[in-house]
Amino acid sequence: MATGGADDSGGGAGGEARAGSGADPGSDREPGDSAEAAAYRAALADRLIAEGAIATAEVAAAVRAVPRHLFTPGLALELAYANQVVFVKRDRWGVPTSSVSAPDIQAIMLEQAGIRAGMRVLEVGSGGYNAALMAELVGAGGEVTSVDIDRQVAERARRCLDAAGYGDVRVVVADAEAGVPAHAPYDRIVVTVEAWDLPPAWRAQLTPHGRIVVPLLLRGMTRSIALDREGDRLVSRSTRLCGFVKMQGAGSHPDAGYDLDDGDLSVDVDDPRAIPGAAQVEELLRGPRAEHWSGVHVWRWEPWDTLPLWLATVFPGYCQLNVHAPDTEALKPALASGTPAIATPTAFAYLTARPLPDGRIELGAHAFGPDAASLAADLAASTAVWDRDHRQGPGPVITAWPIDAPIPDTPVSDTPIPDTPTPVADLVAVRKHVRLTVDWRRIDQT
């Protein structure tokens, strides 16, 4: 979806992209619609159901109803209804700043949000299509407000919504850092840009039992997290893997990390001060390689997205390794992009994989530096703990505490986690407005 970031005026300017004479949600949507387009919509809904992105009849009905091709003008129908992102604006360097997200992640986030008829919903980021899906979900008795500070993006969304028959969706031009107080409170806030922080306005504009769904950046990885309001804190109910264009404006945050070996490799990290610098890591990588195998077997297509978050909780020096060159000789990371890695002053380790006869892969660790053998063993052991205690579990509970609020001395669940080589860190990240904590429950504790 589009970004809720700053425009060329520097951010903060408000207003609304004026609605046209579009029909109410659910009405006939001619011209521009067709039986062929309806067939593509039905096929897309069927595919998302089969893949598990859609779990409820309400979200399925919304996907079958909203003409996505009217929000991606110029694309052939087979492309408009493909399960892929459509970029609609880029900055001067070619970096996407606005998009119509892939249908599967939109469906997943709508399922996370649990939007029901009659609700008031705020969308941060205006691509148009997602707001139309929300309009179908809230029905005639609900309200949908979509905010984006980029006036061009907001006006495009307004035109597409009108063309598709969703003139009742409100499109506001403003910096999303402040929410949209004029139309609050909201039962749901759905953020469709990558956020580094959770501004107080979002929580303040929620109803007492409201929910925020936000792609939150944690230790270099992005997860769509559904957070329910519980007093002055926000507590997660689900976490899903995702990727989005970045927040702009007051809520923006520069990329953290650095390049290695003249750009052949790069490291993403939450706080560069938590790991050694580029020159030190390059020096570690010049040494001999140690390896240790975990005994954990997974299918390559299998979702194991809780593993990186688990490792980020266990190891203070967690980061993610990206490979940009086709040949890296001794380096064999498990993934080309976003491979979990650990950096310390005396060793650098990352997750690796080797094929098994049955088609699965075994996860293990490669490490370099004076303490390579020890760190590789620790990384493999932590992977095995995840496999035993968390692989089939619900994932962690992530809590966002106001930055000035006291945090309990112990996590929500203070049961120690055995066989973990490094103490589990309750505190994951400190932001401008919130502190984020985690609580991992073992399978036999859920």
Helical H segments across 196-277, by residue range: 200-204
Which helix (H) or strand (E) element contains residue 11?
A: none
Closest alpha carbon to 42 in 67, 64, 66: 64
Residues 6+ apart with CB under 8 A from 141: 117, 118
Q: At what angle are helices 57-65 and 129-138 packed, to 10 degrees?
A: 130
Distance from C-alpha of 226 to C-alpha of 395, rounded to nearest angstrom: 13
Place of tokens 């699965």: 360
Distance from C-alpha of 154 to C-alpha of 79, rounded to nearest angstrom: 23
Closest alpha carbon to 427 in 419, 439, 416: 439
CB atoms under 10 Å from CB of 51, counted, come to 12
Distance from C-alpha of 103 to C-alpha of 59, rounded to nearest angstrom: 11
Question: For residues 211-231, b (16+ Cβ closer than 10 Å) or e, as one string?
Answer: bbbbbbbbbbbbbbbbbebee
Closest alpha carbon to 57 in 45, 74, 69: 45
249 alpha carbon, distance to own chain's centre: 19
Contact status, residue 130 vs residue 66, Cβ threshold 8 Å: no
Which DSSP symbol is given to 316? T
Residue 213 identity: V
| 374 classed as catalytic | no
Which DSSP symbol is given to 195? B
| Active-site hit among 101, 126, 224, 238 | 101
Distance from C-alpha of 270 to C-alpha of 255, rounded to nearest angstrom: 9
Contact status, residue 66 vs residue 133, Cβ threshold 8 Å: yes
SS3 329: coil
Which helix (H) or strand (E) element contains residue 69?
A: none
End-to-end CA distance of the chain: 35
Contact status, residue 223 vs residue 243, Cβ threshold 8 Å: no
SS3 282: helix
Question: Which residues are annotated as catalytic?
Answer: 101
